[in-house]
Amino acid sequence: MALRADEFKERLAGVVGALDRISANVRIVCVTKTHPLDDLRVVLEAGKLDLGENYLAELARKAEVLDVEYRPRWHFLGHLQRNKIAGIAALATEIHSVSRREEVISLARHGFAGKVYIQVAAAGGGGERSGADVGEIPALLDLSRSLSLDVVGLMGMPLPGSDVEVARYFRSVANLADQLGLAEKSMGMSGDFLIAAAEGATVVRLGTVLMGQRSL
């Protein structure tokens, strides 16, 4: 079903109101992956220019049309596949999902001049998790800086868990960012953004709660 402007604005007002009660100055990235162009136009017409996408092909298709009309800021949230990095570097404004040395080197080689977040792995995730281990992050940061990438913060996605466990993870990401002198904490999705805001998020990445259910 197409996203209606009044429906989107009402959801956005609800989210902004809830965030304002917890913390000033949390930026909202509206995660638009899988949603059609007309839904993105609704978001952009409402004045929200920070859009999140996970797949290069989809981002490219949308950017080709919307960059001309609106100049959105594209936040890339997905895996940085080796053969996609050049395209991502060319289109994204901010990349939230950097976690490996090769990605850092490749982004620098392709002249990525936007903002970078290093993704912190959730502890105990096992094989499938994404993100860098806490111990690897200072070296990744040094490498990024030596290659003139603009690392502004850390990104964190918790494993499923209780509110207490999720809060503890967000707090650890925020503390690590503070220790490293990184101002931005990209933490919190539809299910946990209020917890994230309470633990110091400066950016929340919200899909479902603003856009409605994703079609696959």
Ligand X SMILES: *Cc1c(COP(=O)(O)O)cnc(C)c1O
Residues that bind ligand X (CB under 6 A): 31, 33, 54, 77, 157, 189-191, 205-209
- Using the minimum distance from each CB to ligand X, give the nearer residue, 57 or 147: 57
- Using the minimum distance from each CB to ligand X, give the nearer residue, 56 or 189: 189
SS3 112: coil
The residue assigned the tokens 């965030």 is 19
Q: Which of 6, 14, 4 is nearest to 35 (CA)?
A: 4
How many other C-beta atoms lie within 10 A of the C-beta of residue 176? Answer: 18
Q: Which residue is nearest to ligand X (CB)?
A: 207
- Closest contact distance (angstroms) between CB of 9 and ligand X is 18
Rounded distance between C-alpha atoms, residue 24 and residue 94, angstroms: 21
- Closest contact distance (angstroms) between CB of 155 and ligand X is 7
- Closest contact distance (angstroms) between CB of 121 and ligand X is 13
Helices 37-45, 5-22: axis angle to 10 degrees equals: 60
- Using the minimum distance from each CB to ligand X, give the nearer residue, 30 or 109: 30
The residue assigned the tokens 């392709």 is 110
- Closest contact distance (angstroms) between CB of 191 and ligand X is 6
- Using the minimum distance from each CB to ligand X, give the nearer residue, 58 or 136: 58
- Closest contact distance (angstroms) between CB of 40 and ligand X is 15
- Using the minimum distance from each CB to ligand X, give the nearer residue, 160 or 181: 160
Q: Which of 208, 206, 181 is nearest to 26 (CA)?
A: 206
Q: Are 94 and 49 in contact (CB under 8 A)?
A: no
Rounded distance between C-alpha atoms, residue 86 and residue 94, angstroms: 14
